[in-house]
Structure 1
C-alpha cells in the first residue's frame, strides 16, 4: 500500500482574484478547506505549500519562494521523500471539488496529472531531486513543462474540476451533481 502525502499548493499571489483566494468563502468555508477535505479522503497526511493554514503543517516553497506551483510541489516531494512517503497527490487551493475516484484514475501510471490542470497530479517522491535540479537550472517553471520533463501522463476526466481564479468565477460556481 502506497503511503501518500496530500499537498495543497497555495503559495500564489492571487493576482487575478484580487485578494487571498485560499481564504475566499464557498458555502461558508474557505476554498483551501474544501481542498484539504477532498485530499484527506485518499492521503495519509496533508501539507500546505507556500503559506500557512490552521492545523495543517506548512512547507515553504523550495528551493526558494516565487517559483509558482513547482516550488510548492518541490517542497512536498522533498518532504515526502524524507518522511517515508512514496508519492504526493497535489492540488491547488482553488479547486474545491476534486472528483471522487481521482486517485484511482491517476495511480494507474507512475506520474500523472489531470489533463488541462497539471497542478492536480500524482507524483512519485523519487522525482524530488530531479525537480529541485530542474528549478535550479531552468527558466521555464510551468507545471506543463515539468510534467513533460517528468514523463507524466495526462489523464482525461469526464468532467474536469473547476479552477476558481476570479471572484466572478467563485460567484458563478455551482457544485457538480
Structure 2
C-alpha cells in the first residue's frame, strides 16, 4: 500500500534502560516487534538501524550506524545514505505508534520537506518523513557535532502535522520504570495497535 523506505532507529546506547531498548521484552516479545508488526499491516518491510546481532532474528535488513554515537540525527544520516531517497523514520522506543498514525503522517505530508507529527503540542521528530535532499545538511551537522533534533527541524523549516485523534503512540520507553508501566497497561488490556 505504502511505498516508502522505512527505518527503525535502534542504534542508541540505551544508557537509561541498561540494555538495548528495542530488544527488551515487553509483554513477552521484543519491544521493536510491535512496530515491525504495525508496519507489516501497511505492507512496509522496515530496515533496522542497530548494532546488536540479535536484531537479525527478525528476518529484516539490519545495518549499523555509518557514524556511531551521533544520536538520532546519526540514524537519519544512516537511513538517507542507505536509501538514497526520502525515508520514514520511527524510533524503536515508541512501540505503540499505530498504523492510523503512520498513515496520517504519509497522507498529510508536504513533498520535499521534513514532515513530523505534533501530538498535544509536542513535536515528535522520530516519527517523521525526511527528504533525501537533506543528506548533505545532516552530514554537516554531524561533522559540527550539532546533534539536537529540534534545532535541526527549526533550521530546515520542518512541516509539523498535528494529530487530531487520541494516540498512545508517543510514549517513549526509555527506563525500566517506563517499561514496567507499559507492561502494567498491556496486562490491563491496553490497546497497542
Please report the TM-score for the alignment, with normalisation by the length of structure 2: 0.78
Contact 2:87 2:132 in 1 (8 A): yes
Report what 2:65 is aligned to: 61
Change (3 A) 1:65 1:31: same
Q: Distance in 1 between matches of 2:42 and 2:151?
A: 26
Contact 2:2 2:42 in 1 (8 A): no
Report what 1:96 is aligned to: 95
Report what 1:166 is aligned to: 175
Task: State whether structure 2 residue 25 is matched by structure 1 residue 25.
Answer: yes
Task: State whether structure 2 residue 152 is matched by structure 1 residue 153.
Answer: no
Contact 2:39 2:99 in 1 (8 A): no
Q: 1:128 aligns with which of 135, 139, 147?
A: 135
Report what 1:10 is aligned to: 10
- The count of aligned residue pairs is 171
Q: Distance in 1 between matches of 2:45 and 2:92?
A: 16
3-state SS of 2:103 partner: helix
Please report the TM-score for the alignment, with normalisation by the length of structure 1: 0.84
Change (3 A) 1:100 1:45: closer
3-state SS of 2:150 partner: helix
Change (3 A) 1:9 1:2: same
3-state SS of 2:46 partner: strand
Change (3 A) 1:2 1:32: closer
Task: Give runs of ≥4 in structure 1 deviating > 4 Å.
Answer: none
Q: CA deviation at 1:80?
A: 1.1
Change (3 A) 1:2 1:20: closer
Q: Which moved more, 1:51-60 or 1:30-39?
A: 51-60
Q: Distance in 2 between matches of 1:149 and 1:43?
A: 33
Change (3 A) 1:160 1:172: closer
Runs of at least 5 residues in structure 2 that lack an aligned partner in the other structure: none
Q: Distance in 1 between matches of 2:168 and 2:31?
A: 17
Contact 1:118 1:143 in 2 (8 A): yes
Runs of at least 5 residues in structure 1 that lack an aligned partner in the other structure: none
Name the larger-Rg structure: 2
